[in-house]
Amino acid sequence: MGPGTGLSSGPPEELTEAEFPPLKFYSELLPGKLAYIRMGRLQAELVPRMESELRDFAQLGARHLILDLRATPSGGTLADAAGLAGCFIGEGSPIFAMRTSEGTGAPLLGTRAPTARLRVLLLTGPRTAGPVEAFAAALRVRAGASVLGSPTRGEAADFEVVPLQNGRALRLPTRLAVVPEIPGLFPKGLQPDVPCHVSREAGDAALQQAAGDGRVAPLLVETERPRLNEAALVAGRNPEMELWIQNQLQKKQGVAPAPAPVRDEALRLAVDFLTALDALDARPVALP
């Protein structure tokens, strides 16, 4: 069997919902005028929602967009991916082609002007799979998007599920996305421009925390560590030593240390990356 073909003991799920439930579409304007969108499921109905959010962000003065693909299930179709890519790729520009057993067809083309001119950063994770990989590859090549995170799973295709006996199912790729500038998109996946080595468990915890709280920005705030500084010296204190003594006393008393707050390290790196690009793009100020 060729790449991408899989045999399962039951109908293959897009994601194991008991392990990681799919998250809904969500948007937020982060500090520094950074637009953030967590896509959720890839489907045709997503296009008008995306266009509306992009227009709103442009009116709010956003210059950059972080498009979070870490929680996007592997469902949807390549046609859905091409339609969504049209929000960012100009009219008449090639998006990607599709290859079947009969050969490779002509590239799908953008059908309208981009909704907003934003620098796009795609945030990928170990669960990023399916037609959304074709969407990400198209934005990287055609819209100049950067990719930060981990390699995708190499499933940029439409699949057909064939039921077999004894409750088994065969999952076959029927159409593959072809982006000539990224050979091997299927089955090798999309490699990030900026790798981010965050464990799957830590990434999932951050995504679920944001979904539960209804906000993303708090996961970017670092808790300040007590430290010895000039003010502490004037007051005759040593905050670092006091914290160490407190931790030792709690350990002797059998008190469990407070759990560390959940932080989204991958998103934090994405924000830092875009902030650095802003600094590099800034014009030098002439000294008097």
What are the chain's domains? Answer: 6-213 (3.90.226.10), 225-260 (no CATH)
CB 76 within 8 A of CB 41: yes
pLDDT in tens, 28-70: 999 988 999 999 889 888 999 999 999 999 999 999 999 999 9
- Residue 282 one-letter amino acid: A
Beta strands 34-38; 26-30: pairing state: antiparallel
pLDDT in tens, 252-270: 877 776 667 889 999 999 9
Tell me how far apart the alpha carbons of residues 261 and 193 are, in angstroms, rounded to a whole number: 28
Percent of the chain with pLDDT over 70: 89
* pLDDT value at residue 257: 67
The answer, as to whether pTM is greater than 0.85, is no
Instruction: For residue 230, give the H/E element and its range.
Output: helix 230-235
Look-up of token digits 């000039």: 230
> What would the mean pLDDT of 92-117 be, rounded to a whole number?
88
Percent of the chain with pLDDT over 90: 45
CB 84 within 8 A of CB 109: no
> What would the mean pLDDT of 164-193 be, rounded to a whole number?
89
Higher local confidence (pLDDT), 166 or 154: 154
Asked if pLDDT for residue 16 goes beyond 50, the answer is no
pLDDT in tens, 75-93: 889 999 999 999 999 888 9
* pLDDT value at residue 17: 43
CB 264 within 8 A of CB 219: yes
Asked if pLDDT for residue 4 goes beyond 90, the answer is no
* pLDDT value at residue 160: 86
Tell me how far apart the alpha carbons of residues 79 and 206 are, in angstroms, rounded to a whole number: 30
